[in-house]
Amino acid sequence: WKLNLRDAARAVGEPAKLIASTRQQAAASFAPDGSQIAFQSDRTGTWEIWKANRNGLNAVQLTHFRGPLTGTPRWSPDGRQIAFDSRAKEGSEIYVIPADGGQPRQVTSSPAGNAVPAWSRDGKWLYYSSNRDGVTNLWKMPVEGGAEQRVTTNGGIYAAEAFDGEYVYFSRSPTDTTLWRVPVKGGDQQPVTAAPRPFGCSHWAISASGLYIVDQSGDLSFYDFARRQSSTILHHPGFLTDWSLAVSPDGREIVWAQIDARAADLMRVENFR
């Protein structure tokens, strides 16, 4: 679904359906130029990465793992690649695929698993979550390969680097969804105390001037970095039904996943043995 914005803190019109099928779609991510949206969908019977035009038309399947859970696509800053996670092997790992399609390349490898990727603003690093010591924390590594670096020590999932490259924002965990930040160059982890607590660890998105947050009651709010204050944009129960939130690069559109109905499809297999 989508909601048009008049400015950072005011909506225009009512929510409208954007990308739909008889199955599920979630985890939207805008291309840097705003022309396309990557998302995960199980419309073929298994979760894969897809992309469509910004208006939701011309959906194209990018991955073809045909079974393993695959999702959370994120565009690179130059628009040429899409990072995602998949359980294509023994555990969840981060992969990168050309935005126009092609062979996915595995980036991470750890018995603890790695998931929920996010790009640094310069496109040189990938952030991700990993449970290396019984606690899920944020890590990062160079996109082209190299040593991994721990980013957080007291929990971290669903990272987003600020547009100025100064801080990485994140939720503590799926159960502790409070927002925190840590300097990109390293330092103390700080709670964003003035911001509302998101409903889930993925119910927020970052823009150049602030954070869009869906809180526990279903209110979409904008937290302004400069003023350190929040303003409510819209109350909508549909915000609370599924995973993820995204804001367009031009700040004119909010996109989220919303469950409108539960359904199942019958599939036919040719030449079954």
Gap between the Cα atoms of 119 and 168, Å rounded: 10
Q: How far is residue 66 from each of residues 22, 90, 96, 112, 252, measured CA to CA in Å?
A: 18, 15, 17, 23, 35
How do residues 32-61 score in pLDDT, each as one tens digit? 999 999 999 999 999 999 999 999 999 999
Amino acid (1-letter code) at residue 124: K
pLDDT for 30:
97
DSSP-assigned letters across all residues of 124-155: SEEEEEEESSSSEEEEEEETT----EE--SS-
How do residues 194-211 score in pLDDT, each as one tens digit? 999 999 999 999 999 999
The answer on pLDDT for 267 being more than 90 is no
- For the chain, give the percent of residues with pLDDT over 90: 82
pLDDT for 244:
84
pLDDT for 91:
86
How do residues 108-121 score in pLDDT, each as one tens digit? 998 889 999 999 99
| Cα three-residue angle 238-242-245, rounded to 5 degrees | 85
- What are the residues whose beta carbons fall under 8 Å from the beta carbon of 152, sequence distance 6 or more? 137, 138, 170, 180, 182, 189
The answer on pLDDT for 262 being more than 90 is no
pLDDT for 242:
75
How do residues 206-255 score in pLDDT, each as one tens digit? 999 999 999 999 999 999 999 999 999 999 988 988 778 999 999 999 99
The answer on pLDDT for 264 being more than 80 is no
pLDDT for 90:
76
Q: What is the mean pLDDT of residues 253-273?
A: 86
How do residues 128-161 score in pLDDT, each as one tens digit? 999 988 899 999 999 998 999 999 999 999 999 9
